[in-house]
Structure 1
């Protein structure tokens, strides 16, 4: 089969790759209908490997060496492993991205994204930027009320929902979202469906426009204005009650620190590769809470994402920049996203 295979930094090849074996116990095999490219894939392409185990076997999955990218996908069930009773051949499903054991202390507490043996499809085992893929049945959910071009946003929307949920933001709160790429714009949409207005911050006019269509009520072009000052101005000088930082940049973190109000909450979602000093004195004196958000909790966030997309398909259509073929993943997907010229998610039809 054809697949997008990661071999190293700036080395993703569209090549022949072995088809997955028959699904094992509690696995299903999907014919991939749609996949999409995540910012993490772009990060691995431009500066990795960070998460992909090219040289040393992954401690949980055991994979080592080149692998098929893609942890955001929707597919049709074509084969079913032993013990799977919840799906039938021909059914369309969306898998979550993370595989958890279901037995460790974190899984028993419902925090499956912190599983002791957690690994990610498309980063630690072969993923969905291919014609077929095997995934665990337990992380997959049936798609009944929206087409593949909408359902493809379920996994990234689940990530955004998980990030927003733990901020406890309510209508009337001031919320700033810094970084309006795929997850950032979906976080804006997740707030909008809850009746929460947001201040969207980015350096890309195109991404700012997507955020406006997603429900942002104030837009700040950080390439032209002091973003923290603009957020404070928009909140009457106090600063935002909640700042969701998705850019993963030192500039984004500095803006979050300078824009949050006393007693406010900074939610870190983007992965920060560079050292990022924090003003710990201000955090203490102003009782600012800093928390982090990792991926999603499949049982909670993925069903909610599918329900929201069925009720609000415009969330997906607004978030998608373009739909491309597998052969165009590098120039039209990874390179464009790395350059910042893609206004939203790039979806792939394998």
Structure 2
């Protein structure tokens, strides 16, 4: 089969790759209908490997060496394992990205994204930027009435929903979202669906326009003005109750630290690779809470994402940048995204 295979930094090759083996007893094999490129894939391509186990076997998956990327997938079931009960050949499904063991203390507590033996499809084993992929049935959900071009947004939307849920935000809470790329714009959509107004911040006019379509009530172009000062003006000088930082940049974090109110909450979603000094004195004296958000909890966030997309299919259309062929993953996908030219999700049609 054809797959986009990660070999190392700036080395992703669309090449012939071994077909997946018959699915294990608890797995399903998907014919991939849509996959999308995540910022994490771009991060691995530009500056990795950070997560892909090229030289040392992954402690949970056991994989070592090049692998097919892709953890945002919609597929049709092509084969089922012997013990799979809830899926049959032909079903249209969305898998979650992370595989958890179900037996460790974090899994028992419902925090499957922190599983002691957690691994990610498309980063620690072969993923969905390919014609076929094997995934555990337990992390997969039927898409319901969502067509594949809508359902492909379910996994990233689940990430956004998990990030928002962890803030405890309610109507009347002031929220600023810094960084309006693929996840940031979906965070705005998740807030809008809850009836919560958001302030959207980015340096890209095009991404600000996407956030407007997702329902942001105020847009701040950080290339033209001081974002933190603008957030404070918009909140009567107090600062935002909650700042969700999705850019993963030092400037984004600095703006979040300055823009958050006393007693507020900073939620980190973007992966910060660069050193990021924090004003710990202000965190203590103003009793600011800082938390982080990792991926999603499959049982909770993925069904909610699918239901939200079914009721609001414009979310998928509004956050789509382009649909490309698998052969164009590098030129029209990874490189465009790395250059900041993509203003939403880049979806691949194998």
Task: Please give the TM-score of this superposition, normalised by the length of structure 2.
Answer: 1.00
Aligned to 1:177: 177
Distance 2:319 2:264 in 1: 28
Q: Deviations over 1:18-65 (max 9, x none)?
A: 100000110000000000000000000000000000011101001010
Aligned to 1:230: 230
* Correspondence 1:308-347 to 2 at 5 A: 308-347=308-347
Aligned to 1:121: 121
The reply to whether residue 271 of structure 1 matches residue 271 of structure 2 is yes
CA shift, 1:290, in A, is 0.2
Aligned to 1:306: 306
Aligned to 1:3: 3
Distance 2:26 2:9 in 1: 34
Aligned to 1:210: 210
CA shift, 1:182, in A, is 0.4
The number of equivalent residue pairs is: 350
* Correspondence 1:188-199 to 2 at 5 A: 188-199=188-199
Distance 1:135 1:99 in 2: 9
Aligned to 2:145: 145
Distance 1:279 1:82 in 2: 55
Distance 1:186 1:97 in 2: 17
Distance 1:267 1:323 in 2: 31
Q: Deviations over 1:37-94 (max 9, x none)?
A: 0000000000000000001110100101000000000000010012100101100000
- 2:86 is paired with a residue whose SS is coil
Q: Deviations over 1:186-207 (max 9, x none)?
A: 0000000111111101111110
Aligned to 1:258: 258
Structure 2 segments unaligned to the other structure (5+ residues) = none
Distance 2:102 2:306 in 1: 22
- 2:42 is paired with a residue whose SS is helix
Distance 1:179 1:93 in 2: 30
* Correspondence 1:30-49 to 2 at 5 A: 30-49=30-49
Distance 2:101 2:10 in 1: 33
Q: Deviations over 1:303-327 (max 9, x none)?
A: 0000000000001110110100001
CA shift, 1:144, in A, is 1.4
- 1:177 is paired with a residue whose SS is strand
CA shift, 1:274, in A, is 1.0
The reply to whether residue 240 of structure 1 matches residue 240 of structure 2 is yes
CA shift, 1:273, in A, is 0.6
CA shift, 1:228, in A, is 0.3
Aligned to 1:296: 296
Structure 1 segments unaligned to the other structure (5+ residues) = none
Q: Deviations over 1:317-343 (max 9, x none)?
A: 101101000011111100010011101
Aligned to 1:163: 163
Distance 1:172 1:105 in 2: 36
Deviates more, 1:166-175 or 1:124-133: 166-175
CA shift, 1:171, in A, is 1.1
CA shift, 1:145, in A, is 1.1
Distance 2:197 2:316 in 1: 19
CA shift, 1:166, in A, is 1.0
CA shift, 1:185, in A, is 0.2
- 2:216 is paired with a residue whose SS is coil
Aligned to 2:187: 187
CA shift, 1:277, in A, is 1.1
Aligned to 1:132: 132
Q: Deviations over 1:251-292 (max 9, x none)?
A: 010000000000000000001111111111111111100000
Q: Deviations over 1:120-151 (max 9, x none)?
A: 00000000000000000000000111100000
- 2:133 is paired with a residue whose SS is strand
